[in-house]
């Protein structure tokens, strides 16, 4: 009955409801985080601000705990509630019921790695954006957000311990990959597709929201391109597991490179930029284009084969 009511609701109402659930999820999980942190970490409410300061290395475990609760409450939990209200079948609505093909997983992984020079080049271009003097206040605010994000990342990932590295993989790769893909591809992309009737509009709007959510202007363009890539993986394959896996690989590589003393990370950041080998950038563009086309063709052939063997085939949202 509930699913039927929401199925006939307007697109505006559905989006408003999603935003409402996100707000509730965030508040509930942050409150739950406080309840857990007080006895487990000995947190005192009077010193909450100081305890959550990213520069406070002594409270790294507490910061990671709240980061996890934040990600679950804001990204992972709301899509499950939304899917239940909108469909009654959480697994089916979010397209988690389709197991990804191993060939598509391999292609996705190779594309993520091969695209590093392209992403780094886009980062460099994005960082060169200059604002007019009239927008200096906005520019300073964006730089402040960027510095805070870098400071937090540095605090989270700096470690020589393998066990801490595994925790970092969980906090910075597993949870974000699951949560962000559930929300931005599993829910928003689907809703924007239903509203616009144009999958490309849906993919790019969702990608923009995905990038803007990180509050890092100087990474807006490359992160939006990554979001669009994940969106097309989802659309072509019909399985949310593909973008989840690709997202995990992307984040996991970054965490792993940082773990290796930062030496590999520093070199990787110049791949495809003016300081790197420009030919590598052109090669990356050619290889990634060919791999994306291969992914598209393989997923299309598998859909045709599935449709032939099973005429009652659901659309991939």
Residue 314: the pLDDT is 47
Give the model's pLDDT for residue 309. 72
| Radius of gyration for the alpha carbons in the chain, expressed in angstroms and rounded | 21
What local confidence, expressed as pLDDT, does residue 263 receive?
Answer: 47
Q: Exposed/middle/buried for 70, CB within 10 Å: 0-12, 13-18, 19+?
A: middle
Provide the residue ranges of all domains of the chain, joining segments of one domain with +.
1-90, 94-317
Residue segments in the chain with a per-residue pLDDT below the cut of 50:
263-264, 266-267, 313-317
| 266 touches 124 (CB < 8 A) | no
As a residue count, the chain comes to 317
Full-model pTM: 0.88
């Amino acid at each position: 009955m509930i699913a039927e009511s929401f199925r006939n609701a307007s697109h505006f109402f559905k989006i408003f409801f999603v935003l409402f659930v996100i707000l509730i999820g965030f508040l509930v999980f942050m409150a739950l985080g406080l309840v857990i942190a007080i006895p487990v970490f000995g947190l005192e409410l009077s010193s909450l601000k100081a305890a959550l300061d990213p520069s406070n290395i002594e409270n790294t475990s507490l910061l990671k705990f709240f980061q996890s609760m934040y990600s679950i409450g804001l990204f992972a939990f709301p899509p499950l509630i939304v899917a239940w209200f909108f469909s009654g079948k959480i697994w089916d609505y979010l397209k988690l019921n389709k197991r990804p093909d191993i060939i598509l997983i391999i292609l996705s992984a190779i594309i993520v790695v091969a695209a590093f020079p392209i992403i780094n080049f886009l980062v460099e271009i994005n960082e060169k954006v200059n604002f007019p003097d009239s927008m200096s206040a906005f520019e300073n605010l964006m730089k402040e957000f960027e510095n805070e994000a870098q400071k937090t990342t540095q605090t989270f990932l700096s470690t020589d311990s393998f066990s801490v590295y595994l925790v970092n993989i969980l906090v910075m790769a597993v949870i974000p990959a699951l949560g962000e893909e559930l929300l931005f591809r599993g829910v928003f992309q689907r809703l924007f597709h239903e509203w616009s009737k144009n999958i490309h509009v849906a993919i790019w709007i969702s990608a923009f929201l995905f990038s803007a959510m990180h509050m890092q202007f100087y990474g807006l363009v490359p992160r939006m391109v990554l979001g669009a890539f994940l969106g097309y993986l989802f659309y072509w394959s019909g399985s949310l597991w593909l973008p989840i896996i690709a997202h995990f690989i992307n984040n996991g590589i970054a965490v792993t490179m940082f773990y290796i003393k930062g030496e590999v990370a520093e070199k990787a950041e110049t791949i495809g930029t003016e300081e790197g080998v420009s030919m590598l950038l052109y090669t990356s563009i050619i290889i990634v284009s060919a791999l994306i086309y291969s992914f598209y063709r393989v997923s299309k052939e598998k859909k045709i084969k599935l449709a032939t063997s099973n005429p009652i085939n659901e659309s991939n949202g």
